[in-house]
Amino acid sequence: MDSYNFPAFLYRMKNIYRWSLMRNTDHESVALHSYYVSIWTHLLCSVANEIYKKDVPTDKIVSMALFHDATEVFVGDIAQPVKHSSPEILEHFREIERSAAVTLMNMLPAELQSVYRPLILEHDPELYKFVKGGDLLDAYLKCVSELNAGNSEFSYAKKQILESLRKLEMPEVNYFLTHMAPAFEMTIDELT
């Protein structure tokens, strides 16, 4: 009987924690992060389609978001300052992540590999921009949450991530930052 370990490895995303080099008031697993990235990505696609009258394939892009950090079951969550400390190190990490993606793909039956390849291994760069936007928004909102809890360790990260969000030059991201992000700085009493 053939055995395929793909889902068992993905299930372990709940055991990998993000922001490992920083003091956290609220710890976040890669699984939880992937869930939120999928929500923010769906929202960005909906803004694109309904507000800016674009025609982006929301379901396909959100599926990409669900799996955007799947390789971390092998490589862990690498802190941005480490990963981006030099172009050479970044390139090496990308090679490692690509190798991890191939390993994951090989844990699927051949009949399913074509379904998951575009989600894990071969991303359409134009569509993946929405996933990147959702990923950065989640990091930004994590910083807002930590700062709201009095953890100033996230102040510099918030500035850097906001700059990265602006560099995406996506009207959908700007819409979120203008019309939705301010509510994340409010208390529950202020929200109701």
Region 13-28: what's the mean pLDDT?
95
Whole-angstrom CA distances from 120 to 53, 59, 71, 88, 148 are 28, 15, 8, 23, 34
The mean of the pLDDT values for the chain is: 96
Instruction: Name the token pair of 105.
Output: 């793909």
Domain ranges, ordered by start, for the chain: 6-178
93-135 pLDDT, tens digit each: 999 999 999 999 999 999 999 999 999 998 999 999 999 999 9
**What is the assigned CATH class of domain 6-178?**
mainly alpha
Q: Which burial class, exposed, middle or buried, applies to 140 when counting CB atoms under 10 A from its CB (0-12, 13-18, 19+)?
A: buried
Q: Which residue has the tokens 């906001």?
A: 162
> Whole-angstrom Cα distance, residue 152 to residue 146?
7
The pTM score is 0.94
124-173 pLDDT, tens digit each: 999 999 999 999 999 999 999 999 999 999 999 999 999 999 999 999 99
Q: Which residue has the tokens 């809890």?
A: 149
> Whole-angstrom Cα distance, residue 33 to residue 112?
25
The confidence band for 41, taking pLDDT boundaries of 50, 70 and 90, is very high
- Residue 139 · residue 162 · CB < 8 Å: no
Residue 80, pLDDT score: 83
Residue 167, pLDDT score: 98
The confidence band for 84, taking pLDDT boundaries of 50, 70 and 90, is confident
The string of DSSP codes covering 67-115 is TTTTTHHHH----HHHHTSSHHHHHHHHHHHHHHHHHHHTTS-HHHHHH
Residue 61, pLDDT score: 98
